[in-house]
Amino acid sequence: MFRFDRRLLAHFDWWLLILFLLVCGMALFNLYSASYPPKPWGTPPYLKQGYFFIMGFAAILFILGFDYQELHFWNYVFYIVVVGLLIAILVIGKTAGGAQRWINLGFFNLQPSELAKLMLVITLASYYSRKEVTDGYTIRQLVVPIGLTAVPFLLILLQPDLGTALMLGFIFMSMTIFVKLRFTVYAVLGTTGLAAVLFAWEKLLKPYQKQRIQTFLNPERDPMGHGYQIMQSKIAVGSGGKFGKGYLEGTQGHLHFLPERHTDFAFAVWSEEWGFIGSLFFISVYFLMLLWGLYSSAFARDRFGMLLSFGIVMLIFWQAVINLMMILGFLPVVGIPLPLVSYGGSSLLTTLLAFGILLNVRMRRFQTGQTAE
């Protein structure tokens, strides 16, 4: 199972790694400011996040020792384990903020819904690579991937965690459209999606979830309630001006006007302290990293590697876009973290595992004739 080939180092994507480490460095740098001054009790968030980074980097080294084709086999085990954890959440899960999403492992709280995102990428990549269709998938051929997506989607929706459930939908749509559909399927999926949105609004969404959407459309209607987060975030971003207020000098964050400043609104802290120029630099490096990931997808050695790389990039891309638009007030607050930047052990470890797989695909692009059934 473990094989070492000197050509692996020769084909290692050092540029992708450099961009990745640069983003991680800026994220920890920002998290220190977001949690400053530290509380006199407990471990500061930036230290906890640092420990998770170390754990994640160790996991990346472990992943690089395997050929990513092994995931064809382990995919089934991974899927069953994650679905089992999502079921267990509904029985023994830890409740916080009205949601039941975590399993207490003692040293940290595991959020299985984060693992479900990566699990779905691997599952769909495995399925679509095995069931390749040249003239486009039909609705009948999509029954299995729809079912594989629906199971974790519904379990996460029951927690309730609408934001993460929607992320599974974005991953499914991105990867399914990427593998090519017949023209009539687009019309069917579009109509079904619209009907699902209307049904969800009338029957599934809880009052507080509807309130978030209504607040997004008119945050000034409830400035001290549900609209407070959006308004304070926009104030923080705007007050940064061109060059920002300086490191550790952001008033919205350090005077506690900005809520959730080390989690969902971490980038608002960066924008206030580093301004438009600093934000543009951060976003440029971040999305260049993702573009380089798409480049890896284009030169993967096989269809499975291509789909894995594409799915991982989409997993991070959609979370980043939704989080940034949420911070700027273009989308309602749905609790989607900014990968690598927002504080959270489960989210960070999942993203690092995903990057390990991406690096794995990239460094094995020269190998041929090795597949796993």
Q: How far is Cα 23 from Cα 75, in angstroms, rounded to an integer?
A: 29
The ranges assigned to domains in the chain are 6-363
Alpha carbon distance 264, 159 (integer Å):
19
Low-confidence ranges of the chain (pLDDT < 70): 1-6, 40-42, 95-99, 200-206, 208-227, 253-257, 366-373
CB atoms within 10 A of CB 225: 11
pLDDT value at position 26?
A: 94
pLDDT value for 237 = 86
| C-alpha torsion sign, points 137, 67, 299, 26 | positive
At 238, give phi and psi (nearest 5°): -70, -35
pLDDT confidence of residue 367:
65
pLDDT at 352: 96
Question: Which residue, 296, 311, 267, 295, is CA-closest to 121?
Answer: 311
Beta-bridge partners for 95: 100
Mean of pLDDT over the chain: 84
pTM, full prediction: 0.88
Residue at 334: amino acid letter: V
| 53, 353 contact by CB (below 8 A) | no
Q: What is the pLDDT of residue 226?
A: 53
Residue 222: what pLDDT? 54
The whole-number pLDDT of residue 295 equals: 85
State the Cα–Cα distance between residues 32 and 67, nearest whole angstrom. 36
pLDDT value, residue 167? 93
154-180 pLDDT tens trace: 999 888 788 888 899 999 999 999 998
Q: Whats the size of the chain, residue-wise?
A: 373
Predicted local distance difference test score (pLDDT) of residue 351: 95
Going by C-alpha positions, the residue among 155, 171, 195, 57 that lies closest to residue 119 is 171
CA angle 160, 163, 169 (to 5 degrees): 105
Q: Which neighbouring-strand residues pair with 137?
A: 181
Residue type, 90: L
Residues 272, 235: Cα–Cα separation, whole Å: 9
Q: How far apart are the first and last CA of the chain?
A: 15
Distance CA 1, CA 66 (A): 7
